[in-house]
Structure 1
Amino acid sequence: MTISRRSVIAGAGAVATGTLLASAPAAGAVPVAGAASPSTGASLPIASRNSVWTRSGAGPLYWSIYGWAFPHNAPIPEAEWKANIDWLARDFASHGYRMACTDGWIEGSSRTTEHGYVVTYNDGWEHDWAYWADYLAAKDMQLGVYYNPLWVHKAAVADTSKTVVGRPDVRIADIVTEGDFFAKGIGGDTLYWVDVTKEGAREYVQGYVEYFKRMGVPYLRVDFLSWYEDGQDANLGTVGIGHGRENYETALRWMDEATGDDMELSLVMPHLFDHAEAEVRRGDLIRINADTDKGGWERLSGGRQSWQDMWPNWHNPFLGFTGYADRSGRGQLILDGDFLRAHTFANDDERRTMATLMTVAGSPLTIADLHSDIADHGWVYTNPEVLELNRQGLVGKPYFHSANPFSSDPSSRDSERWAGQLPDGSWAVALFNRSDAPARRSLDLSALGIKGPARVRDLWRHKELGRLGTVAAELPPHGTLLVKVFPDGRAARYQAAFAAWGGGAGFGNTLDGHDAMGYAEIGKDGASVTFAIHAPRAGTYGIGYRYRADGASQLTVGAEKPDRTPVAPAQRLSFPATGGGWRTATGTLVLSAGENLVTVMRAPGDSGSIALNHVERR
C-alpha cells in the first residue's frame, strides 16, 4: 500500500542568538558607557540555530506543487510542473517568488544513486533534480526540495551494491532495521527510516543534504518528524516505530550541521514538545498548524480551537502563530502557516486576511494555486506595499495580555490584533475579524509606545488615513485592516515587547510604568533580546536602554549584520538598581549603514536581571 500525503492528513482537524558578536573589536568601536570591560570574546551560549535565514526575519516567497498533488492525490506530472514553473517565472518571479518546491507523494521515486539518494521527484519524470535546478536557474529562480534525509527507499535497501557515501564498507541495507517503515502502522512499506544508532547513518543523512546542496538547492522541507520521534499520529494512532527523543534530536543535529547557512531547513509535522525546545535549536522554520488541505476559511481560522500536546498543536494558523509568537523573531524560528490557495476562499476579504496574517506573522508566502485555477486572484500575492514588509523581515506579535502560555490560557493573547516593528522604526499593524458578522477592531498606538498621533497608511487600499492615535476599523466578516504607522521624531525607539526573545527571555507587563504593550525580561544565562535596527550611515550612535532592575546587573550588548558580519564588539554594560522605578542607561554603539542586529544578552560572566522596556537609537 502506498501512503499518500492526502490520506495521512485528511483527518488532521478533528533562543538566544548564538555566536553573536565578534571577539575582536571592530575598527573605530567605542565602548558602551558604564561597561566594566569588553566581553571575553568567547562564543555566547547557543539556544537557537540562529542561521542567516532566521536572522533575516520573515520566511521565503515561493510556489509549491501542493495545489495540484493534493486534489489529485498523486505526484504532479512533469509537464504540469514545467507549465507552472513557466507561469511562475512570467507572473510572479518579478515580485520575489523565485523558488519552486516539490511536496509529498514521493514514494513513487525509486531510482537512486549508488549511495541510495533518489534521482528525481518521481519515476515517471524524464528529468532529474539537477536538470530542473538548471532549468530554474536559467530563469533566475531556484529549486526547493521536499524530502526527509531519514528516508531510505526499499529499492536501495534491496540493492546490495549500494553503499553509504564515504563508507564503502557500509551497505544502505545496514543503516535500517527490518520492519522499521515510515508508515508501518497503516500499511506502508515503501520507505524505511534510518536507524541513527547504526554505523554509517550520519554519513547517509548528511550526505543527502550535501547531495541537494551541490545542485544549488537552497531550501529543504523535511516532513513527518513527529512520526519519527514517537511513531504516533493524533488522528491515526500508532503509525510506526518510535525512535525516541534522543535519536530524534540526534537526527535534527545532523541536519543542522549539514545545512548550515547554505540551506534553509524547514521542519514539518514536528510534535514541538517542550514548546519547540529542540526545533528552535536545530531548524529555521516550523509548521505550526495542520495542513492547508482543501483551503478556504475553515482551514485558515476554523476547526479545533484548543491546543493538544502533539502535532498539530493548533489546527489553524491564526492560533498556531499566536501560540508560538514567543518563539519567533530574528535568530529564533520562522513560523510556517503552510500553503496559500487564494482561489479556495469565498471572497476578496478572506483572501486579504490570508495574505495579511501570513505577512504580519513572518511566515513564508507560499503560492499553491496553479496556472489553471488561480483565475484573477493573483493580485493578493503581488501587492508591493505588503511584500515590502516581508522584504524588510517583518515578524510581528499578537497583542499579549499576560505572560501566561497561550496553550493553557487562551485569554493571554489576542489572535485578532497584531503589530510588528520594522528596522527603520516604523510599524505594521494588522486587525482581523475572525467572526461571521461585522465587527469593530482597534489598537491604541500607545501599545506600540507611541505617544500622540502618528501618520497611518492603509497598505491594501494604498491610502493615507491621516494622523491617528488609534488604528480602528469596522471590519466585514473574515475581514482585515493592514496599515503602516510612522512615529514622529528623529530618534528611533525599538520596543522589547515586539523584539525577538531567545534563551529564556520572555514577555512581562506586571511592573507599573512601562510603555508599549509590555517589556522583555532578561534574567537567565543565555537570555537575549534582539532588535533589527536600521542606521542611515555607518558610525557611532548614542543608545538609550530603558529598564528596571531590583539589583545591580551587568549584561552584554553588541551588534552584527544579519549575515554575521561583525559591526561592534561585545561590551559589558552596567545596569544599576532602579529603586522600584524605570531609568535609562546610556552609551554608544557602532552601527553599520543599513540593518543591524543589536542584542542585549546575559552572557557568560554577566549577572543580575532586568526588565527591558525599549532601546533608542539617537
Structure 2
Amino acid sequence: GIYLPVGLEKAAYNDGRTPIWNAEGCTTADIVYDDLRTTNGWDSSYKIDFSDPCAQKYIDSQARMFADWGYDFLKLDGVGPGSFKSGDNYDNVADVAAWQKAIATAGRPIHLELSWSLDYGHVEDWKKYSNGWRIDTDVECYCNTLVGWENSVDDRWDDAPAWTDHAGPGGWNDLDSLNVGNGEMDGLTNAERQSYATLWAIAKSPLYTGDDLTRLDSYGLSLLTNREVIAINQSSAPPAEPVTASDPQQVWAAKNPDGTYTVALFNLADAPASVTADWSTLGFQGKASVRDVWNREKLGTYRDRITQALPAHGSRLFTVTSHGTDLEWTGYEAEAGTLSGNASTAGCSACSDGRKVGNLYGGGKLTLDNVVVHKAGTYQVKVSYISGDARSALVSANDGGATSHKFASTGDWGTVNVVHVPVKLKAGANTITIDSGSDGYAPDIDRIDVQK
C-alpha cells in the first residue's frame, strides 16, 4: 500500500512549472487555485481545482503510476470535511470522487481508504466514492507506548454505533490500526488487547496492525491469527451493534446468515464486573447453545441468558445458536405518553408513527402508562431513540428508583437506533418513565417495545 495526503503537496508545485505526467499541456499551475489556498488536516497541500480538466488528468496519472508500481491499497489522509477541519477549503469530496474515477481506469484494483475522523454528515459521499473511511481520530496515543486504553481505544465503543448501519460490502467503517501484538509495546493489559481485537472484528473494521512484526509476543500472535475471529470479521454478516445501552457493561450482537448470532460482552469499567447477554435482546427466549470464539470451546446450553464475570476492560466473544422461540412485542408510541417539563412532540420521518418526543432536558419527562405484562420480572425493554450526540436518561417503572443509562449517538437527529434497557415490571399494568433529570439532556424517543 501507499500513503498520500489529499491535495497537491506544496513541494510538488514548483511555481506551477511541473508538468503533469500523461497529460500533455498540463502543469501544476493548471490544477490548483490561483490564490494557492491550502487543504487537508495539516494545510500541507494546495487545494485542487477540479473545474480544470487537467486536475482529473493529474489524479489519473497518479492512480496509473500506483497501479504500475503494483500497489493495491491507497490511504488518502487528511480528508475533509473531517480531520478536524471544515469549510470550503477542506471539502475534499471532489478529490475522493476523482480518485475513485481514476482508480477505475488505472488497470489494477486499488482499495481506497479515507482518513481521518470523517464527517458523519458526508457518510453517503464516503460510501459512494471509497472502500473505507476512518470514523475517529488516531488510535495511537503518541506517548511512551503505541496506544493507551483511555487515550482513544475506548472511544470507539461510543463512536462506532452511529456508523454501523452504513458499513457493508464495498465500504467499511475503519476504526484504525489493531495494535495488540505486543503488550509491552502497546501499553495494554491482555484483557484490553482482547476487547480491542473483539470490537474491531465484530465491527467489520479493516484489520491491519501497527505493531513491530518482529516483536510480536505469543498472546498478541494468538489474537492476530485466531481464524474464527478473523472469519467473523470477514463473513457476510452485518457488523455487530449494541443491543444494550452504552453503559459500562455492554452487549453487542449481529445475526448471521445461518441464523446464529455473534454476541460480544464488554466490561468497560475500571473494575471487574459481571455482564449478562439476555436472549430477549436477540429476539428469542428459551435455550441456546454457546461457543466461546476466542478459546474455540463449546460452553454448552444456557436458558434465556448467559452471565460472565469479566475483568476490568474485559470481554468475551460468543457464537450463540438459538433453540428457543421468537419473541412477540407490544409497542408504545412516545407521543401517546404523558409529557412534563420541557418535553414536546415533533415530526420524525424515520420514526415508526412519524412522530417523536424531544426537548427532554432540564427535568423534561416522558411517562408511558398501561404497559402490560403477564408476569412480574425484569424485562429488556426496547427503546427506539434519536440523538445527534451521546446522552443519558433516567429510566424507571412504577414507584421504583430510576437507573441512568447512556445512549450512544445515532449520528444525527434524523436516524433511529434501538437498544434494550432492563426494567423491573409487575404483573398487569405498569408505568414506565424516561426522565432527563434536573440538569441533563436525554435523547429524543420514538417508542418503546415490551415483550408479550
TM-score under structure 2 normalisation? 0.63
Match of 2:125 in 1: 278
Match of 1:384 in 2: 227
Matched to 2:314, the amino acid is: G
Is 1:217 paired with 2:71?
A: yes
**In percent, how many aligned pairs have the same letter?**
24
Aligned pair partner of 1:319 in 158, 164, 167: 158
Is 1:160 paired with 2:17?
A: yes
Return the alpha-carbon distance in structure 2 between the equivalents of residues 287 and 388 of structure 1: 22
Aligned pair partner of 1:357 in 174, 199, 203: 199
Return the alpha-carbon distance in structure 1 between the equivalents of residues 99 and 312 of structure 2: 43
Aligned pair partner of 2:306 in 459, 463, 471: 471
**1:91-129 deviations in Å (ceiling 9; x for gaps):** xxxxxxxxxxxxxxxxxxxxxxxxxxxxxxxxxxxxxxx
**1:412-439 deviations in Å (ceiling 9; x for gaps):** 7888311112222221100111111011
Return the alpha-carbon distance in structure 2 between the equivalents of residues 348 and 441 of structure 1: 18
- 1:160 shift after superposition: 3.1
Match of 1:460 in 2: 294
Asked if the contact 1:396/1:421 (under 8 Å) is kept, the reply is no
Asked if the contact 1:392/1:423 (under 8 Å) is kept, the reply is no
Match of 1:169 in 2: 25
Match of 1:335 in 2: 173
Match of 2:8 in 1: 151
Aligned pair partner of 1:243 in 84, 89, 93: 89
**1:475-519 deviations in Å (ceiling 9; x for gaps):** 000110101112349x999xxxxxxxxxx9979799x99xx9979
- 1:467 shift after superposition: 1.0
Match of 1:192 in 2: 46
Return the alpha-carbon distance in structure 2 between the equivalents of residues 321 and 442 of structure 1: 21
**1:9-44 deviations in Å (ceiling 9; x for gaps):** xxxxxxxxxxxxxxxxxxxxxxxxxxxxxxxxxxxx
Return the alpha-carbon distance in structure 1 between the equivalents of residues 238 and 63 of structure 2: 28
Helix, strand or coil at the partner of 2:205: coil
Matched to 1:367, the amino acid is: T
Match of 1:302 in 2: 150
Aligned pair partner of 2:284 in 450, 469, 489: 450
Helix, strand or coil at the partner of 2:24: strand
Helix, strand or coil at the partner of 2:98: helix
Structure 2 counterparts to residues 261-272 of structure 1, below 5 A: 262-272=109-119
- 1:164 shift after superposition: 4.8
Q: Alpha carbons of 1:458 and 1:300: their partners in 2 closer, same or farther (altered >3 Å)?
A: farther
Moved more, 268-277 or 198-207: 268-277
- 1:214 shift after superposition: 3.8
Q: Alpha carbons of 1:270 and 1:349: their partners in 2 closer, same or farther (altered >3 Å)?
A: closer
Return the alpha-carbon distance in structure 2 between the equivalents of residues 163 and 279 of structure 1: 27
**1:137-157 deviations in Å (ceiling 9; x for gaps):** xxxxxxx22224633452453
Return the alpha-carbon distance in structure 2 between the equivalents of residues 290 and 161 of structure 1: 34
Asked if the contact 1:164/1:172 (under 8 Å) is kept, the reply is no
Q: Alpha carbons of 1:484 and 1:364: their partners in 2 closer, same or farther (altered >3 Å)?
A: same
Q: Alpha carbons of 1:443 and 1:484: their partners in 2 closer, same or farther (altered >3 Å)?
A: same
Matched to 1:269, the amino acid is: W
Structure 2 counterparts to residues 253-268 of structure 1, below 5 A: 253-260=97-104, 262-268=109-115
Return the alpha-carbon distance in structure 2 between the equivalents of residues 330 and 185 of structure 1: 31
Return the alpha-carbon distance in structure 1 between the equivalents of residues 120 and 70 of structure 2: 32
Return the alpha-carbon distance in structure 2 between the equivalents of residues 295 and 453 of structure 1: 47
Matched to 2:294, the amino acid is: W
* Residues paired across the two proteins, number: 335
Asked if the contact 2:240/2:252 (under 8 Å) is kept, the reply is yes
Q: What 5-or-longer segments of structure 1 have no aligned partner?
A: 1-143, 305-313, 402-410, 494-503, 521-612, 614-618
Helix, strand or coil at the partner of 2:160: helix
Q: Alpha carbons of 1:152 and 1:359: their partners in 2 closer, same or farther (altered >3 Å)?
A: same
**RCO (CA 8 Å, sep 6+): is it higher in 1 or 2?**
1
Match of 1:434 in 2: 268
Cα RMSD of the aligned pairs, angstroms, is 4.2
Q: Alpha carbons of 1:222 and 1:159: their partners in 2 closer, same or farther (altered >3 Å)?
A: same
Return the alpha-carbon distance in structure 2 between the equivalents of residues 289 and 302 of structure 1: 14
Helix, strand or coil at the partner of 2:47: strand
Match of 1:487 in 2: 322
**1:419-477 deviations in Å (ceiling 9; x for gaps):** 11222222110011111101111121222223311110111222211111313211000
Match of 1:540 in 2: none
- 1:224 shift after superposition: 0.1
Asked if the contact 1:454/1:487 (under 8 Å) is kept, the reply is yes
Return the alpha-carbon distance in structure 1 between the equivalents of residues 300 and 279 of structure 2: 14
Asked if the contact 1:431/1:480 (under 8 Å) is kept, the reply is yes
Higher strand share: 2
- 1:389 shift after superposition: 1.0
Structure 2 counterparts to residues 110-149 of structure 1, below 5 A: 144-148=1-5
Matched to 2:311, the amino acid is: P
Asked if the contact 1:442/1:472 (under 8 Å) is kept, the reply is yes
**1:358-417 deviations in Å (ceiling 9; x for gaps):** 00111111111113432332211011221221232444333356xxxxxxxxx6788831
Return the alpha-carbon distance in structure 2 between the equivalents of residues 472 and 233 of structure 1: 40
Q: What 5-or-longer segments of structure 2 have no aligned partner?
A: 328-347, 357-370, 373-379, 385-448
- 1:317 shift after superposition: 1.8
Match of 1:290 in 2: 137
Q: Alpha carbons of 1:300 and 1:517: their partners in 2 closer, same or farther (altered >3 Å)?
A: farther
Matched to 2:164, the amino acid is: A
Matched to 2:276, the amino acid is: S
